[in-house]
Structure 1
Amino acid sequence: MRGQERNEWSNPRNMDIPAGNKKLSVVLPSGKVVRQKSFKTLPDREKLLVAYKHLEGLRQLNGGYLASDYIGDKGGDKYNVFWLRDIMYATYANEYVGAYDRMIESYRLIIRIFEKYRHKITSGARKRHYLGSCADEAIHARVHPVTLEEITKEWGHHQLDIFGLFLYKTGDLMKKGHNVIGTGQAETFILLRDIVLYLTTVRWHTDPDFGVWEEGPEVHASSVGAVLAGLTMWHDDGHYHHKYKSHNPLYGLLPIPQEFIEIGRASLDRTLPSESASRPYDLVQLSLIWPYAIVSEAQAQQILVNVETHLVREKGLVRYPGDLYYNADGGNPVGNEAQWPLGFAWLSIVYSKLAMKSLRMGSIFPVPSEFIEKAQAYLKRLEDMMTEDGRVPELYTNGQPNWSIPLAWAQSFYVVAHQSLNRVYERMGSR
């Protein structure tokens, strides 16, 4: 059966899914035709194939992903552009289906974008003041999907977590034996060095940015944690060694002083359990548990308690209390926030990772039933919020989804959540 699954995944993009959400027709690479009235009634493995196919529909020839295919014709911002962060998270699904070549292509695109605007990195590294929301020297969070040109000046572009995620995942892939850098390695490592210098001179651990939600400026725990995780990956002090079968040292390629790790850790500890001065908790703090695993067990537990107690709603998670984005009642925002199905995916992933960690600790520990049950429950809640043809909306307001369907990184996180839980099942079967 496992071999058959690998054969189906040999070309997961070779499927036919018609537009609309009333009827689903999928032709698997084996030639098998699957017809169902609803994505929710499909067998689990076929759900995975369908969800991945929708994600592939947003992938561009250069390896990037449109945030969604919404062109802005019904109001609001158009999403058929590149967000750097969204690309890096959207391509995560490829790792979980074994398509590392496609993930590497996406990260090489991010390198190309950084190289294109390298003058901003080197210019920013020379300054010692806050860069501002739309300062010319800030790397823009959004670019055109073909030309890679900047498209929006009035934006909260100073987002430190983008650099943190980039450093973290490139280091992770290299430790797994993948050549993310490409052919111009010497020049790219100089670029990485310049990024670290940029982060240092903009005082990533103490000065504000606009964070994942592009709001602020404030000091965000999620941004500090992202950069700390990225630097820790390259500092190579053993924090992440448990993730790898063999040790592939990185510290000689991009030396990171121990002081950087210490000041980042101190800053993160000062900010937690809050996300920022104005937000006692935030959905994006889940990133500190996964993918970064940069907080202590006690801190992770507190984040989960806060998120599950205060942010979980019927159709998803609110980003934070009083969030005005797509709020159903701007005059009375608390309790009327938009609900993001993405949050269900993130919680499912986190609980699957916690379950896997418990299973790895050995047979003397009981099966982590609570973690597994929560991972299952949140995945089920996510699937209940997906469209009839298997797409994850960005958010719900007043019980209705907005027009960004699917949201690329939410679609990716569904694949990650699905596969993470499957790996728990496989581990339990071999125990």
Structure 2
Amino acid sequence: MVTAVRSAWRDVPPYQVRQFAALALDEVPSLAHDILREIRREYPQLPLVPDEFGEPRALVGIRQSLEHFVAHLASGLDRPHVHPRVFQEFGRGEGIQGRSLDVLQAIYRLGVRLAWRRLAEIGQQVAIPAPAMYELAESGFEYLDGLVAESVRGYAEAAARQAGERLRLQRRLMEQLFTVPDRRRRGTGAGPSGPSGASGASGSSRSSGASGPAGALPVLAERAARIGWSLPERVAVAVLLRPAREAVAPAVAPDVLLDMECERPRMVVPEPDAPGRCELLGRAAAGWSGAIGPAVPLLDAAKSLRWAGAAVDLMERGLLPAGELLQCTEHTEALVLLPPEELIDDLTRRRLAPLDSCGPTHGRRLEETLLAWLETRGGAPEIAARLGVHPQTVRYRLRQIRELWGAEMDDPDRRFELELVLRARRLRGELT
């Protein structure tokens, strides 16, 4: 059987409680001023923000907390649970200013100690028993915990709102960065019909002002300043594939812009060639698949994005390895040869037409031999070692190749095109 803990405060006669509460409420205005004055002496940096009536919010908060505490005691509730909402504002203000709650909590503790001294004096005046006053002190510090909780709630709200606003501004900055006009198209003055005289040229010059890259830079600088991002000289853009819908965002450095709202999250990495940057990015994106485009000047970020997106397209098709953050510059051949499928397919059809009369298996062996010869220009022994066949087999295949393509084998342009299409077929897994 559990025995209920006896409350010393509840044993105090009601008339004494009412007497104590009345005296305490009378003291509240002067006590609040005394507490604020002592706080200001201990923490002179504390800003006094006025409310809509011109009264310091800190003073209002102190007075309301004292009134609420005493009112609860007078009603017989020895564990007050009502806390003035203004303490949420105090926490919110600390969050907005980017400060921690440490100083605010120290100020609260100082205020409670000062209030307890005055309440203890009043308790002696009306002969409140010592055990009841000890219980009152315990209740006061519990009330302090509630005030801190209100401030923490306001602080968290401010932090969440600021984080959301920063992400919104960050996304706007990234979108602006990705829509900077291509510098190669500035002021050409030539449309479909070519140059059309001075008036056409001047019109083109005017149109390439604020909307061109030079005009975009001030807008970028203004948006970057709002989130504390220094405009770098060079950037690289990464495109990611989510491992799962609920996947935790990569833990990137503060200067890396990250947009997780896209179907394919994107990152803008400043100064990507800085020592150790690639390794840090790789660790931050562990568990994610994606690609990071080449390093480019800031205003060419869209180009880096385009290459990163192309690499991720190939990754989704199984043509580039997944499970890591790839560097586009390490997969240049695949990025150049695989995306223009229609062009490569048409060139393949035309350049490999001589193989139409061969069977699939023999035709593939001739392709592999031809590619080995184009890449090495070596003799039969070298090509045979590469292919794992007998040199005599290579000589036989090379004679067939010469018969099938004839004079085209002596044309540098034709040889180049043959190597392109054969390399593309190898990248697709159609040749070994």
Query: What's the TM-score, normalizing by structure 1?
Result: 0.23
Query: What's the TM-score, normalizing by structure 2?
Result: 0.23
Question: Which one has more relative contact order, counting CA pairs under 8 Å at least 6 apart?
Answer: 1
Whose helix proportion is higher, 1 or 2? Answer: 2
Higher Cα Rg: structure 1 or 2? Answer: 2
